[in-house]
Amino acid sequence: MTSRKTVAVLGASGYAGGELARILRDHGGVDVIALQSESSPGRPLRDAFPDWQGDERFSQKTPEQIAAMNPDLVFFATSEGIAKKAAPLFAKSRLVDLSRDWRGEWRYGLPELDRGNIVTADAVANPGCYATACLLAAWPLVKEGLVERAVFDGKSGYSGAGRKPNERNDPKVLAENVLPYHLAHHAHVAEIERALGMLVHFTPHVVPAFRGLLVTAHLFVRGAGDFRELFEETYRNEPVVKVQEKIPDFRDVRGRDGAVLGGFEFDGRGRLVVVSAIDNLGKGAAGQAVQNMNLLLGFPETRGLRL
């Protein structure tokens, strides 16, 4: 039986950090020794998260002080650039980075593609939210060499744009509206291409919902057939991925840490359409980070997850 472990969260006052705090609180196998926030040291968590039940406060300790406590594992739910600077402080801890600072350098943390190597890693780069949904939608066919071209159309709730006020997280701008952005050059394109080993096309949109993420994958395939069977076989033993015939939507995944794949319509002209749904704060961020933590620390993979 795995003994209790100590963990710390840097950047706990962001949306992903707050989601991490919620999952870890109910995990049962870890003691959270620090919920650190550079912007809110010493303040109650409910100041950042009004629905938070409890009197916990953000840690006033610096990253250096937290490193001296030798936590078993540290999450970086930080803004871009911070994990790059702070990670060397935690030489005695295992690390999970939710930012994109270490993607392409640390072990890529999508368990459904690379579980065996994640278990033995010291540091894991959590995948991006859009990348997670895209990869799950394409992987069963790509690994069999059946995809000639992939086009991904993404829709996300505005929590994905972070807390810092901007057009893409302004409910007034988003009311009765949809915002396309980074039409051809989103940062997740390189991440998806690196994992799949092929060129892809991707365009994201923000929709007037706080959380949830949906990708419609247009997979131009070789051959024809009931491709859903291949998805079912690939994910048959994957604990957080559900394959269904029905087209999924935000309601299937909101507040949960799993993924749902559905649709599987073939147009008879070489295009298979697959819809991949996750919660951008769940499987797209905090839920996947805890899934990786469980693998790194020897817990059952789904412990603490909301499935």
Q: Which of 12, 30, 125, 129 is catalytic?
A: 129
Read off the pLDDT band of 164 (50, 70, 90): confident
Residues 275-298 pLDDT 10s = 999 999 999 999 999 999 999 999
The two structure tokens encoding residue 121: 């890693």
Angle (CA) 7 136 282, round 5°: 35
Residue 134 is a catalytic residue: no
Which domains are present in the chain?
5-126+284-297 (3.40.50.720), 129-280 (3.30.360.10)
Cα dihedral 276/271/155/286 (nearest 10): 30
Task: Give the Cα separation of 51 and 99 in Å (integer).
Answer: 24
Q: What is the pLDDT of residue 1?
A: 60
Q: How confident is the prediction for the chain on average, in pLDDT? A: 95
C-alpha atoms less than 13 angstroms from C-alpha of 191 in its C-beta half-sphere = 26
Read off the pLDDT band of 165 (50, 70, 90): confident
**Phi, psi (deg, nearest 5) at residue 123:** -145, 135
Residues 22-79 pLDDT 10s = 999 999 999 999 999 989 999 999 999 998 998 999 999 999 999 999 999 999 999 9
E-strand spans in the chain?
5-10, 30-36, 73-76, 94-97, 107-108, 123-125, 147-156, 179-180, 201-206, 213-221, 241-243, 259-266, 271-278
Q: Is the pLDDT of residue 222 over 80?
A: yes
